[in-house]
Amino acid sequence: MNLGLKGKVALVTGGAAGIGAAVVRLFAAEGAAVVIVDKNKAAAIGLAAELKRRKMKALAIAADLTREADCRNAVSKAHRAFGRLDIVVNNAGVNDSVPLEATPHDFLASLQRNLFHVFAITHFAAPHLKRAKGAVVNVSSKVADTGQGKTSGYAAAKGGVNALTREWAIALAPDGVRVNCVVPAECATPQYERWFNSLPDPAAARAAIAQLVPLGRRLTTPEEIAAAIVFLASPRSGHTTGQLLHVDGGYTHLDRAATHGHVKWG
C-alpha cells in the first residue's frame, strides 16, 4: 500500500535505535525525509548515513531532550533543512524505575526525561504542523494502563502522554492536525534485551514474559510498532485522531486467563 508519505518530513525522537529506528527506516522506505533526534549522536549519524547511502533523505540531530533549548533547536534545524515539517513522532523515553520510595526530586527528573520533551517538541513543531495539516504520533506504554509497581515516574509520564494525545487531538482539530498514540507492552527493544541480559537466566526471563502475551506467546517486534505509527501518521489514516492504539498481542486488555492455558488459541 502506498501510504502517501512521499515528500513529507517526519521528525522522530529517540530515532536512533529500537522502535525509533524502525520508525525512521519505514518512513524513509515510504519516501519521507526523516529527522533522527537522539542523545546518541554516533548512532543517529550512523543511521542517517545508512539511509543516505540508499538515496534516502535523512538528518541526524544530537539532542538532550530534557533541555528546552535542545527541543527548540531540533525542530528549528529540521525545518531549516527541509523547508517543512509534516509529522512528529514522540518516541523517546526510558522506563527508569523511579518508585514511590524515591525522592520527589527523582520523580520530577523522571517526568523531565519522559514527558517534558513530548510537550516541548510538539509545542515548537505546532506552527509547522498546522501549516502542513500534519500529524503527531505519541508512543506510550501499557504501564499507564496496568501499572507495574516500581516505576511511578514512568507510569505518570506515560499516563500524561495518553492524556495529552486526547487534549491535543481536540486542540489541533480545527487546524487539521491529527494526534494519535501507539501503546506497546512487551516489545523486543535493545533496552529490554539489556534488562534480560542483566538477569541470572536471560532466556528463562524472556520466555516467562513471552508467555504473558496471548497472541503468539512472543514479544512484539519494533517493526510491528513502527508499522502502526507510520500508518497513523500517514494520509491513509486521514480521519483518525485522539486514539490510543495498543499494539501488544492482547497483553493489556485480554483476560489474564488467556495467559494460563484456560483459553485455546488457534
CATH of the domain at 43: 3.40.50.720
| Rg of the chain in Å (alpha carbons) | 18
The answer for 250, left when phi > 0, alpha when psi is -120 to 50, beta otherwise, is: left
Exactly one of 27, 82, 116, 154 is catalytic; which is it?
Answer: 154
Residue 210: inside a domain, yes or no?
yes
pTM: 0.95
- State pLDDT tens for residues 147-184: 999 999 999 999 999 999 999 999 999 999 999 999 99
Residue 264: inside a domain, yes or no?
no
Residue 94: inside a domain, yes or no?
yes
- State pLDDT tens for residues 64-117: 999 999 999 999 999 999 999 999 999 999 999 999 999 999 999 999 999 999
Residue 125: inside a domain, yes or no?
yes
Domain hosting 23: range is 9-259
Q: At what angle do helices 41-53 and 18-29 cross, to 10 degrees?
A: 20
Pairing of strands 135-139, 178-184: parallel
192 catalytic? Reply is no
Residue 1: inside a domain, yes or no?
no
Residue 39: inside a domain, yes or no?
yes
Hey, what's the cell of 135?
500529524
Residue 83: inside a domain, yes or no?
yes
- State pLDDT tens for residues 174-218: 999 999 999 999 999 888 889 889 999 999 999 999 999 999 999
How far is the C-alpha of 172 from the C-alpha of 233, rounded, in Å? 15
Hey, what's the cell of 115?
514527558
Diameter of the chain measured on Cα atoms: 56
Per-residue CA distances from 104 to 70, 99, 107, 222 (Å): 25, 10, 5, 33
Residue 67: inside a domain, yes or no?
yes
Total of domains in the chain:
1
